Amino acid sequence: MPIVLTTLPALSALAAYVVVGYTVYCVSVVVYRLYLGPLRKFPGPRLAAATQWYETYYEIFYHGGGMFTKHIKKLHDEYGLTNTVETGPIVRINPWELHIDDPDFYENIYAPSAPFDKLQVFENRFSIPTAAFSTASHALHKPRRAALAPFFTKSKMQAHAPFIQQLVDTICTRLQDEHAGTGRPVVLNDVFSALAADVVIALAFGDAPTVCASENWKTPFTEAMDNLVSSTHVNTQFPFMVPLTNAIPESLLMKSPAIRPVLEFRHSLNASISRILNTHRSSAKPANGKSRDNDTVFQVLLNSKLPPEELTEERLQHEAVSIIGAGFDTTKQTLTMIAFHILDNAGVHRRLRQELLEVIPDPAVMPSWPELQQLPYLTACIEEGLRIGFGTVQRSPRIAPTAVPYRGYIIPAHTPVSQDSYHMHLHEELFPESGAYRPERWLGDARGPDGVKNLSRYMVAFGRGARMCLGMQMAYAELYLMIASMIRRLDLELYETDRSDVDFYVDWLTPHAKPESKGVRVLVNKA
């Protein structure tokens, strides 16, 4: 008893010292960030400058999370009142990051040759840290991207376009044969998921397409991808969650309804990578070292000049998740957005259909993808859908190794700086009535507000610079072929669907509609 009695006061004193010490530390950090740190002079809420919990609140808790991108726009509206021509639209959004809403500065941050890194905390949020998309270091990202780039050229995608058209034809035939005149609504989100899944899996692994012919259009990994992207904010705000989850025995994780589909998805991709590696080891490389038109993504990667340590099974597994995810979710979301707005605007639908009727008298004989790209109104409908759909909506900060001048400020070296498609595409000076779907804004010699720069310069749905989306041409092929075929061949009518079923509500890296949305539902009328 005497030992216990003498120990308790000592423990209490130690606890008090710890509490006082931690409090002093926290106060010191806040004082430094607000009054002494290198970002102290930049406008923004004091709470955001003081603590990362400001961002965490909007990404995790407020309205279910994923709301910080929209909140940043409010910050620009509020603190823009203190901006001048000299200082510009710049806001401090957390203790160490700045956000800029300046269309003409975008290419300074996302420049093709700039040696800018990404944030390290973004590297492992999807548990694929060695994928090119995830790689934070510019020096390491550059060769990883270069090894993949030969597959995604426009000429390579033109070679694959007939295959994509076959899938599109399968979809249109099924919609006509199975649904026309039935009064049974079809969810276009699911239909476009099937197309995107079959395309990206076939081009990545060489697997035969199966989803477009499946009974309910459901992909085997739609739920997995939704669960994966919806975890982005938890993993970003609390980076320890990824290694913590990975440390839990898989047998326990498989009992979780949210995690099980993700694990099954990863197992499926890992099996495909294993098969590709075994085939590669027993096959001869191309004689001239160049990729062939029928090579898959991973054949191109394995035949690249990357060293062996960059071609390990684990790194290829990470690349697989990245490629499938990037080629699936954004394409599905963009197709859904474009289809909705065409069907929701009678004038747009009528004009597009007339353009297609003139060049496609026989819907059984569709033009090639390059020929469709020459159609001005179809192109305008697609560009406007990309604009109002944003592509990936979440900001992707860049870190410059040297100080960057911006109007009246000097942004310190190694400071994360970001812009995003949400702010760019809704900029009223660039796109008047920016919330409206108006394909006409892209017709003719469309120019920016200065009358000099092409309006397309401000289209950043695929990003810009050294980390611009590699799959842009693949996405364009799917958008042109699917939209042209669907509008020319089918008579579709929206069913109990409005803009809230497609409009950006929550940021899950890509923009997603309200959680209660049932998707874009349509009726297929008899021709």
SS3 label, residue 46:
helix
In what helix (H) or strand (E) does residue 313 lie, and over which residues does it extend? Answer: helix 313-344
**β-sheet with 416-418: strand ranges across:** 90-94, 97-100, 416-418, 398-399
Q: How many CA atoms lie within 13 A of 69 on its CB side?
A: 26
In what helix (H) or strand (E) does residue 299 lie, and over which residues does it extend? Answer: helix 297-302
Instruction: Establish whether 469 is an annotated binding residue.
Output: yes
- Answer for the pair 108, 409: CB distance below 8 angstroms, yes or no: no
SS3 label, residue 52:
coil
- Answer for the pair 338, 385: CB distance below 8 angstroms, yes or no: yes
- Assigned token pair, 410: 């000097």
Q: Are strands 97-100 and 416-418 parallel, antiparallel or unpaired?
A: parallel
| Residue 211 CB contacts under 8 Å (≥ 6 apart), including other chains | 193, 194, 197, 198, 217, 218, 219, 220
Side chain identity, residue 164: I
| Residue 64 CB contacts under 8 Å (≥ 6 apart), including other chains | 506, 515
- Assigned token pair, 376: 């001005």
- Answer for the pair 396, 467: CB distance below 8 angstroms, yes or no: yes
- Answer for the pair 79, 395: CB distance below 8 angstroms, yes or no: no
Query: Binding site: which residues?
Result: 469
Which residue ranges make up the annotated binding site for heme?
469
